[in-house]
Amino acid sequence: VTVARHVVARVQDIPEGGRLIVTLQGHSIGIFHVRERFFAVLNRCPRKGAQLCRGSILGYLEADAPGELRYDPDRIMLQCPWHGWEYDLETGESYVPRSRIRSYRVDIENGQEVAEELRGGQVQAMDDDRATRAELGLGRSGPRVQRGPFVAETFPVSVRDDYLVISLPGRVRDTLEET
């Protein structure tokens, strides 16, 4: 399987509880920073195509009987802003039968590694256009959205920083396509 790897941001660019929405290979993808972990998912709800990554980040809530709530803040759910369906950010799964979202691998790499991979063509950098279109959402629910650029101005790569690298199946495409 061909995999295209994109370096999208410095780790410090996405504060805790924030999400960065970028376009990679024609797909809008949200990268989330929640409880010291990073997740990347396709910014599209399977229900009706809403921009899922603009939804709230919630802990998982379950119960065996009325009122006996168990709240798990470490199992993180993304709730669609349109119809409220929830998806597990880690697995992409929902409690709704046969509904799941696409999730992507996120690696944290140090600047030196990234710089070498950029030279060797193993990872792709964000170009200015994409970086400008990127959006940063702050806050777990009802995120306040800021427009980019967020990443372009951080290049060239600094060896002192750590970077987020997203892996997508498929070949690298040069043209910027909107989903």
Cα-atom radius of gyration of the chain, to the nearest Å? 17
Site string for other proteins, 91-110 (x = CB under 8 A): ----xxx-------------
C-alpha closest to that of 9 among 25, 28, 27, 30: 30
Q: Which is nearer to other proteins, 14 or 53 (CB)?
A: 53
Q: Which is nearer to other proteins, 98 or 144 (CB)?
A: 98
Determine if 74 is a binding residue for other proteins (CB under 8 A).
no
Determine if 152 is a binding residue for other proteins (CB under 8 A).
no
Determine if 83 is a binding residue for other proteins (CB under 8 A).
yes
- Residues in the interface with other proteins (CB under 8 A) total 19
How does DSSP classify residue 12?
A: G
How many whole angstroms separate alpha carbon 165 and alpha carbon 159? 15
User: Considering the complex, what minimum distance in angstroms separates the CB of residue 146 from other proteins?
Assistant: 28
Tell me the two tokens of residue 100: 């799941």
- Considering only residues 13-42, where is the footprint of other proteins by CB under 8 A? none
Look up tokens 């940063």; give the residue.
136
Q: Which is nearer to other proteins, 61 or 145 (CB)?
A: 61
CA distances from 148 to 19, 63, 154, 156 (A): 12, 41, 12, 17
Determine if 85 is a binding residue for other proteins (CB under 8 A).
yes
How many whole angstroms separate alpha carbon 102 and alpha carbon 88? 11
- Candidates 15, 49, 84, 170: give the one binding other proteins (CB under 8 A): 84
Round to the nearest angstrom and report the end-to-end CA distance of the chain: 22
Contact positions vs other proteins (CB under 8 A):
47, 58, 61-69, 79, 83-86, 95-97
